[in-house]
Structure formats: structure tokens, C-alpha cells
Structure 1
């Protein structure tokens, strides 16, 4: 299917898109999937570095954190995928084909695994550098949305992460063979668009009235969890929670996790905004500025 054309007959009749997943045939090949993820990462870093001062985060600390968090997140994303799709990595005798478990160039990265690994890395890094964790997460979650928004287009190139069959006008046609096609939900696009809307809401609304460190991040968990729970229900390639069932149906790992995170974040947001009083001076950015002003004052007094 990866070599077959893709089209949107309800929107663009007669137009077919046929992009080779391999951008450059050098060695094992350089894949568009990796190039797109790299572009998303670079744009996320650029965006976050330009807004770091608004959260009291030094750019050097941001870059140091990214150098540590990026490889750990990739490992986390791959490990999450392998754990819940372990049967795909078994040999005929049932043993694990270990080389295939690290072949990320063939696809197979689970976003939630990467997010979990990234959050844990941020927590320990901030404790080490004595930075407020919530402030770093508020900044970083916008980068996550950018990376996820752009990264989903790698799924489009690979002809993966699509949904169930549909007759909606924006349906996506995929050829399974030379004489057979299916028309499905372009769930990669749904999630990309959902992440874009989430980013705009944070930048234009949440950030402007942020009352406590961690508010952006809680909104991210709520927003992404809400959208992913819906979109995951449309997909046909979900990761399942082993062979467990709920009401006779298999449990989709990402859908279950999305619901849990969405509800948890919503409860915490309501609690923090309705039942807690927050002084603007408690925001980490204001604490940093106050400390810098005090240092300047002491320096001037000493001179």
C-alpha cells in the first residue's frame, strides 16, 4: 500500500498523490517520515526558544533539556509501540526479533510513549536545575503540539494511521492493490488540525490569562486527550491493551489513556481556577524577574 497513490475523490476528483516514502535511496534510505519529524522538531524548538522568556526559562536550559529529552522521548515512543504490538516483533519460534524492535525508520512510534518519557525527563531535569516544573511544561507543551501537528503528515506519506471506511466528502482513497481500493477517514489530518487548534487556543487564550504554572500543560492534556479519544475510535490500527476487553470489546490503549488524562486535567483545571487563589507573583517568570531585579539592586548598592 505504501507505493500506491492516495487521492481525495470527494474534494479533488482526478488528483492522485503518489510520494515514495523513501526520500533518498542512500544506504538503508532516508525516509520522508524522519524528515517530517525532524522539521516538526526544529520548528518546535524555534517556537519555544522565542517564547522562553515569557516563562522565565533560560534558552540554554531549554536547549540542554532538549538534548536530553529528545533521545529519551524517541526511546519511550518506540518502547510504548513495541510493548503493545509485541507479536509483530516475534520470530517464527516465538522469540523476540530484537533488531526489528529498534528499526524506527520503518515507522512505529507511539506519541503517548514519547510524551510520557518527555514529561518524566522534564521533571528530573527541572529538579536538577532548580527550575519550576510547571513553567517548563507550559512552554514545552506548545512545542509538543507543533511536533505532533507536523509529524502526523509523516503518517500520510506512509499511508498509515488512517480510519475506518466512510463516504464523507473529505474521504481518503487508498489502493490496497492494482484493482481494489478503500475510502477511509483521514485521521492523520483530523489530529493534525486538532493540534493546530489546540496550539492557537493556548497562544491566543490560555497563555494570555495564565494564572498558575502548569495551566498550559493541563489544558494540553485536556485538549489532546479529548481529541485523541474521539479520533482513536475511528482508527483501524489502534494499539490494544493486550487481550483485555471491556463490555466485550477490546480496549484501545490510547483511547483509554486519553479519556483518563482528559478527565484528570479537566478536574485539576477546575480545581485550580475555581477553588484556589493565585497571586501573579507566584508565576515562575515573575519570581525570576524579581530575583534578577534584586541582584541588580544589590550590585548597584555594592558599587
Structure 2
């Protein structure tokens, strides 16, 4: 065994009494918690209400888990079905054994976000841009679950950071493998910080920051996917076509699509709703940036309490200006009437104007 290498954990499951605590699930949960926390702060900084991202995360996570598992089973169906199957078909439901396709998770999770935004009256693009960095960080954390499961590793390597894999998980004695889980984790970590910087520097809107997340992730995933061998039971079950894995084709399509969307929406303008009409309130005092951000989106046109400065019926602009100046000097009680003892506001008495009639001369 080389002097330098990355060992794999001896176990990935611990028991609290009879309850199994699985490292794979813990990594995913920690990633989700961090993503929600970060996205919630970013949403409030944009002027959104506290708790919005938490509410949206519930359907997003549920839909995402279902979508991620479906994608994994569909693209790795030989593991559960057919002559090469090494697991029973019902084990396709055992999500704790690993196997969540990020493409399915993002796609179906996006449906959950869309439904939540539609129900609350929020702009989907604003929410997508807000959560984009958090998703990248969540993936960086979640990938360590593959390390505990000793899965999704790469081809053999002689590099000093090669990964040790037990024979029970497809490894060979004295052979090290590319730690593709680590490559992807570091890539996602760098992508998350890049998205934070780009979003703050250029104030991208309308889902354009999320498009950069898709483009950035698929760019890294393409070359990392090319290193993986994915042996299950000693057999590589990855689906390939013309020398490329199906996940690499997916990465290419999504990369191109994200760049097209980013370009097409470059001149898009308009309001993004981050607070539904009728729910706007005071900014959270614990987040002064909510007040200081000059680019906060607004939910709807604010009701104005200012005095109508248009001329009244029959008045010229000059007369209207003179009338407003007189009301300001007289004060509110004189202008609008004073309150009577019974609490009913009395109306101002109308002004009585008299004109002098010239005295008629005797024509005697």
C-alpha cells in the first residue's frame, strides 16, 4: 500500500438502540439544513419575509428525493432488473443504500419549488437565484455520504490522494482509486463561493444566477463522470453510448441549455415579486441589510398617503397652489374641521362671500 492515501470509513451505519443512524442520510440532511439556512438569509436580504424559504424547502426536498431516486433507478436499472441484476427489485426503494441522481433531484425538486411559489405568489426566478449557491454547498456536503458508503469512486490511480476501497465494495488489495466524491465536493464548494461573488457583484436576476449554477455544475460533472467506474458487485452498471455515459450526455444538454437561457434573458427587465401583495411588512430589524440594500425588489406598488396635488374642480393650477399653502398655514384643525366632544369630526363651514352692490343714484 502506498505511503499516502485516503482511507475509507470502516462503517457507515451506527445504531442508537435498534434505530440505525446512517452517515449517508446525515450528510444529505446536513447539506439541506445548510442550504436552507443560507438561502433564508439571502432571501431576507432581498426583502423577502422570514420563513419563506423554509416553507418552500419542504415540498422541494420531498419532490427532490423522489426525483433523485427515480433518476438513479432509471439510469441504473440493470442493478435491480434484468439478467445482470444483483439486487431485488424492491431494493430500488432503499434510498439509504445510496443512489440519488442530482439531475432528477433538481428537476423534480424544481417542480416542488414552482408549486410553492405559485401558491404564495412569488417569482420563481427570484427564488431560484436565491437558493443557487446553497444547492452547490449542499451537494458539496452530501457527496461525503458516498465516501462512507464506499461508492461512486473512480478508476485506479497512483496519485498520493488515491482512495482505499474494501474488497466488499469492489476494491482490490493494494489498488487506489480516484476519490471522485472528493473532486465533486471541492468543485461544488468552489462553485458555491463563485456564485455568491457573482450574484453580489453583478446582481443577476430572473433565474440567471441559477443558470450559471447549472452550467458550472455540469461542466465539472462531465469530467468527473468520465473518471468513475461505479462497480456494483464487481460489475460496472453505468449506461454508456458511443463511449460516453448517459450522465455525461445529460451534462452536455443542460450545460448548453443553461448558457442559452443566460444569453436570451440578458436584456430582460421587470419586477420580481419577493413579497406577495398585501403581505408586505416592516423589514426584520435583525437584518439591517434588508433596509440598506438599494436593489431590493418590491412586492407591489405601495399605497401612497401623500396629499393629492391635482387642482380641484374649477381651480386653476395657481389657485390650487395658493389653496394648499393656506391649508398648510392654517393647520389640520382649521383645514379639515375640529373634533367635537362626541368624537364626530365637524365639517368646516363654507365660506360666505358677499359682493358690494353699487348704490343707485336718484334720477329724479
Bin the TM-score by the shorter chain. 0.7 to 0.9
**1:85 matched residue in structure 2:** 76
Structure 1 length-normalised TM: 0.81
1:189 alignment partner, one of 175, 182, 185: 182
CA contact (8 A) 1:69 1:122 kept: yes
**In the TM superposition, what are the counterparts of 1:152-301 in structure 2 within 5 Å?**
152-176=143-167, 180-237=173-230, 240-241=238-239, 245-246=241-242, 249=243, 251-273=244-266, 276=267, 278=268, 282-284=271-273, 288-289=297-298, 291=300, 294-295=302-303, 297-298=304-305
Deviation of residue 181 (structure 1)?
A: 3.5
Residue 159 and residue 108 in structure 1: after superposition, are their counterparts in 2 closer, same or farther (change >3 A)? same
Distance 1:147 1:287, change over 3 A: closer
Tell me, which stretches of 5 or more residues in structure 1 are unaligned? 1-6
Unaligned segments of structure 2, at least 5 residues = 231-235, 275-294, 308-364
- 1:10 aligned partner: 4
Take 1:75 and 1:64, find their aligned partners in 2: how far apart are those partners?
18
> Displacement of 1:33 after TM fit?
0.8
- 2:77 equivalent to 1:68: no
Which position in structure 1 is the counterpart of 2:362?
A: none
C-alpha contact 1:56 1:284 (8 A) present in aligned 2 = no
Q: What is the distance in 1 between the residues matched to 2:299 and 2:66?
A: 39
Structure 1 segments of 4 or more deviating over 6 A?
A: 91-94
State the match for 1:4 in structure 2: none
* 8 A contact 2:129–2:205 mirrored in 1: no
Q: In 2, Cα distance between the equivalents of 1:110 and 1:8?
A: 33
Q: In structure 2, the residue corresponding to 1:161 is in which secondary structure?
A: coil
CA contact (8 A) 1:11 1:170 kept: yes
Alpha-carbon RMSD across the aligned residues, in angstroms, is 3.0
Give me the whole-angstrom Cα distance separating, in 2, the residues matched to 1:218 and 1:36.
25
| 1:46 is aligned to 2:40 | no
Report the Cα offset of residue 27 of structure 1: 3.3
Contact 1:65–1:125 at 8 Å: present in 2 too?
A: yes
Alignment check: 8 A CA contact 2:78 2:237 kept: no
